[in-house]
Chains A and B, each alone.
Chain A
Amino acid sequence: MMLNLAQNLIDALSLGSIYALTALGIGMIFSVMRLVNFAQGNYIAFCAFALLVPAGEGISRPFIGLLPGWALVPVVIALGMLLAMASEILLFRHLRGAQPATMMIASFGLGSALQNLLLMLFGSRPIAINLWPALTQPVMIGSLMVPRLQLVILAVTALALVALTLFLRRTRFGTAMRASSENFLMARMLGVPADRVILVAFGISGALAATASLLTLPQTGIADIRMGDGILLVAFVATVVGGLGSLTGAVLSAYLIGLVSVFLQIALPLAARPYRDAFVYAAVIAVLMLKPDGLFSADRRSQRI
Chain B
Amino acid sequence: MKGKIFLRRLATACAGAGIASAAVAPAFAEEMKVGFAIAQSGWMEAYDKGATQAALLAIEEINAKGGLLGQTLKPVIEDTRTDLARAAQAGQTLLADGVGVMIVSCDYDMGSPVALAAESAGIISIFLCAADIKAGVQGIGPHSYSASSVANAEGATMAEWSYTKRKARTGYVLVDTTIQYDRSLCAGFDWMFPQFDGAKVVGEDTFKNGDTSIASQITRIKALPAQPDVIMLCSYIPGAASVARQLRAAGITSPILNGTAMDGDYWLDSAPGLKDFVGLAKGSFRGDDPRPDVNAFAERYKAKYGALPVNQSVFDGYVAIQLWAKAVEKAGSFDSEAVVKVLDSFKDEPSLLGPRTFTPDVHIQTQIPFLVTDIVDGKSKVIDQFTISKNIPLDVLLAK
Q: Which residues of A contact B42 (CB under 8 A)?
A: 124
Bound-complex Cα distance A128 to B220 (A): 26
B242 at the interface (CB under 8 A from A): yes
Known contacts being A59-B266, A229-B210, is A137 close to B216, with CB within 8 Å? no
Q: Are A270 and B204 in contact (CB under 8 A)?
A: yes
Q: How many Å from the CB of B131 to the closest CB on chain A? A: 19
Q: Are B219 and A274 in contact (CB under 8 A)?
A: no
Bound-complex Cα distance A136 to B250 (A): 8
Question: Which residue of B has the minimal Cβ distance to A19?
Answer: B212
B46 at the interface (CB under 8 A from A): yes
Q: Are B269 and A221 in contact (CB under 8 A)?
A: yes
Residue among A124, A145, A221 with the highest chain B CB neighbour number at 10 A: A221
Q: Are A11 and B215 in contact (CB under 8 A)?
A: yes
Per-position 1/0 for B27-47, Cβ under 8 A of A: 000000000000000110110
A57 at the interface (CB under 8 A from B): yes
Known contacts being A123-B46, A219-B212, is A224 close to B238, with CB within 8 Å? yes
Q: Are B237 and A222 in contact (CB under 8 A)?
A: yes
Q: Give the size of the chain B interface in residues (CB under 8 angstroms).
A: 38
B267 at the interface (CB under 8 A from A): yes
B177 at the interface (CB under 8 A from A): yes
Q: Are B206 and A126 in contact (CB under 8 A)?
A: no
Bound-complex Cα distance A18 to B211 (A): 12
Q: Are A124 and B238 in contact (CB under 8 A)?
A: no
Q: Give the size of the chain A interface in residues (CB under 8 angstroms).
A: 47
Q: Are B245 and A136 in contact (CB under 8 A)?
A: yes
Q: Are A219 and B269 in contact (CB under 8 A)?
A: no
Q: Which residues of A contact B46 (CB under 8 A)?
A: 123-125
Per-position 1/0 for B209-252, Cβ under 8 A of A: 01111011101101100000000000001100110011001110
Bound-complex Cα distance A276 to B307 (A): 42
Q: Which residues of A contact B270 (CB under 8 A)?
A: 128-130, 220-222
Bound-complex Cα distance A133 to B213 (A): 16
Per-position 1/0 for A261-280, Cβ under 8 A of B: 01001100010011011000
Q: Which residues of B contact A226 (CB under 8 A)?
A: 43, 210
26 A–B contacts from the bound complex (CB under 8 Å) = A11-B213, A11-B216, A15-B212, A59-B266, A125-B310, A130-B270, A136-B246, A138-B250, A145-B250, A147-B249, A219-B212, A219-B213, A220-B238, A220-B241, A221-B242, A221-B271, A222-B242, A226-B210, A227-B238, A231-B212, A262-B215, A265-B216, A265-B217, A273-B206, A274-B177, A274-B206
Told that A145-B222, A226-B43 touch, could you supply 11 new A-B pairs with CB distance under 8 A?
A4-B223, A11-B219, A15-B213, A128-B269, A130-B272, A133-B272, A136-B246, A230-B208, A270-B206, A274-B177, A276-B208
